[in-house]
Structure 1
Amino acid sequence: MTDQRVNSPRTGATASVAGPGARKASPAVYRRRRLVVVVGLLTIVLAVVLVGGFVWPGFWRAEATPQPVPTVTVTAPVPTPTVKAMDRSGDETAFQKALPSTVLQFALGSVAEARKIKEEQGALEAWNAEYSDGGSGEVALRAGQWATSDEAAQAAAAWTKAAGEPEREGDVKVGKKVVGQYAIMPAKDGRAVAVWQNGTAVMQATGPADTMEDFYAAFPL
């Protein structure tokens, strides 16, 4: 007899008790059972992945994030004169020396004292200068220096008013400090007039309309 029926004194249930001859499962059986469980789990995971791949095409791979296109700033080379500037080996005042020999593609061709500005507007000194690019581009410059920046501001306002209504204007800065104002006025025959103040100095340039703002910006005074 391999098992016995035992009645529970509390519940009256009958329990089956294995006898001493009962056989235990071998290790190979346990390994096969574990293998079946592992294979079943892998099958479930594979099914989820396959279904996900068909339902959501991006399931297997992350959507590629478009990389921002870098901004490329192309800076045109600064134009330079093709003609030689005038000889400046003679004596010059400090203000006269500050007038550049070249500005962009324009070279200094002549400098003469502007006596009328000194006599009528009280400038300490004033000069008329001519710049040329060797072709049809010519710029007429007049420059004056006053004793104070207030006097220079009055002269700049008078020159601007005489040239016409500004189409562009703004502050003249040296670093972060405002040292004056500038204004660009259209003129006849495709020309323009730029007037600007830098402290006690005032300049007025008249030349091709498409270059006057650049001429003013490149002028060292």
Structure 2
Amino acid sequence: MVVVLALVSAFLWPGWALQPASNSSATASGKDAVVAVTPVALPNDATTLAKILPDSVGAYARGELKTTTTWDSSSPIEQYEVTYTSGDSQADITLTFAQWSTAAQATAQYDALRGALTAGTLASGKVRVSGQETGDYEIHADEADSTKSVVVWRNDTVVFEAKGPKSAVNSFYAGFPY
């Protein structure tokens, strides 16, 4: 009788099968991933826009943040380029991103980038933050290299463009928090 009570109470006792929480660090994708490279710290004077960059996305760590002039013709407030790496330079992902003062200006840049992508569309859809639609995204094959792809997305006044190996870019975008 004592054994039966012990077994019954073990299965009915609250929390009997709880596993202790893991201490592994979370990545932007919300999945545990092995990041083999240490992320490069942001500069001390990093702007609010630069500070949105996660240290890692999946197995990719943030590299050095650099200002760029790539989209100067559309007059962004600020623009940057950063490489996310897994330690294998052949699999690096280059992320260019910028912010405009209005969503209309950001949309114009997004539309220009999207329009310049002539290779096949692999995926497209809406960007949602906290259930609210804040923009759009499109993933295209890289017309110069069939093993690579390009994803362009707009989140309100910010536009992002990520380029790299097809499988890496697709999972990078899916795990990127913005």
Deviation at 1:162, TM superposition (A): 1.6
Identity of aligned residues (%): 27
1:82 maps to 2:39? no
1:178 maps to 2:123? no
Write the mapping of 1:120-131 to structure 2, written as runs, cut at 5 A.
120-131=73-84
1:114 maps to 2:114? no
The structure carrying a bigger helix percent of its residues is: 1
Which consecutive segments of 4 or more residues in structure 1 shift more than 6 A? none
Aligned to 1:194: 151
User: TM-score with structure 2 length normalisation?
Assistant: 0.75
One-letter amino acid of the structure 2 residue matched with residue 111 of structure 1 = L
Q: SS at the partner of 2:54?
A: coil
1:166 maps to 2:121? yes
Label 1:125 to 1:220 Cα distance change in 2 as closer, same or farther (>3 A).
Answer: same
Decide which of 71, 79, 85 is 1:132's aligned counterpart. Answer: 85
Aligned to 2:176: 219
Write the mapping of 1:1-221 to structure 2, written as runs, cut at 5 A.
78-117=32-71, 119-135=72-88, 136-164=90-118, 165-187=120-142, 188-221=145-178
Q: SS at the partner of 1:167?
A: strand
Higher relative contact order (CA 8 A, sep 6+): 2
Larger Rg: 1
One-letter amino acid of the structure 1 residue matched with residue 107 of structure 2 = A
C-alpha separation in 2, matches of 1:170 and 1:141 = 19
Q: SS at the partner of 1:182?
A: strand
Deviation at 1:161, TM superposition (A): 1.6
Q: Give the paired residue count.
A: 144
C-alpha separation in 2, matches of 1:209 and 1:116 = 22
User: TM-score with structure 1 length normalisation?
Assistant: 0.61
Structure 1 alignment gaps of length 5 or more: 1-76
Deviation at 1:89, TM superposition (A): 4.9
Structure 2 alignment gaps of length 5 or more: 1-30
C-alpha separation in 1, matches of 2:146 and 2:64 = 23
Task: Please say which of residues 195-204 and 88-97 is displaced more in the overlay.
Answer: 88-97
Per-residue CA deviations over 1:119-151 (Å, capped at 9, x if unaligned) read 311111000111110013100010010111111
Q: SS at the partner of 1:217?
A: helix
Deviation at 1:189, TM superposition (A): 4.5
C-alpha separation in 1, matches of 2:134 and 2:106 = 11
